[in-house]
Amino acid sequence: MRGKRVHTNIGILDFCYENSLITVVANRNFAEIKLAGLNVGPFDAGNEYQVYYWIAKELQATGVVHLREEAVLDGSKLYKVQWKEGIQIPGMISELPQDFYPKLRRFLTFAEAEAVQPEKIQEYHKVKALAKDIINSRLKKIIALSSASAQSDQILKKLTSEEKIIYEQLVEIISTWKNQILQKQGKQ
């Protein structure tokens, strides 16, 4: 049951990301697009615009726009995250952008789709291993944080929404377990 709840919560967060505004740059002039209850554009080449992520994907696929560099995750940014996570003192967790995991999922999907040539396949395996390393490192820290006494808001602010889901569930599980272990025999 808990696994399904985590999946649903992450699905909701992913839906929110798909419907968040991101900045795109127009590659060419393009007329206004009228959708049911939503107008997009017009676009002038070289100018920046705020559009919903799901619209940006479609416009990018047709070559009308491209995403700004900060809207996209890549291998070098992943290496920086791993490095930053690795230099933290024990018990500390670095702050990630709130949209890190949605960007990571999309980057891995893109990298896998591009992995048709041997060098791209190798690159995909490297970034996937890097992503797993980041996730495992952060998960170990989240487990440690969730089993300790109450954490300060300053530490919890460094967790992404996805991480807060697992943190809160772990706190609940660990707290229940500790209470049951420390309960006097015969009382239930």
Please list the pLDDT of the chain residue by residue as tens digits (188 residues).
555 565 678 889 999 999 999 999 999 999 999 988 889 999 999 999 999 999 999 999 999 999 998 888 999 999 999 999 888 877 788 899 999 999 999 999 999 998 888 898 999 999 999 999 999 999 999 998 888 877 677 788 899 999 999 999 999 999 899 889 888 776 55
User: What is the pLDDT at residue 7?
Assistant: 61
Question: What domains, with CATH codes, occur in the chain?
Answer: 2-71 (3.40.5.50), 75-182 (1.20.58.2050)
In whole angstroms, what is the distance from residue 62 CA to residue 164 CA?
A: 36
* 153, containing H or E segment: helix 153-156
Q: 137-170: string of b/e by CB count within 10 Å (b at 16+)?
A: bbeebbeebbeeeeeeeebeebbbbbbebbbebb
User: What is the pLDDT at residue 124?
Assistant: 94
The three-class DSSP label of residue 17 is: helix
Q: Count CB-CB contacts under 10 A for residue 73.
A: 24
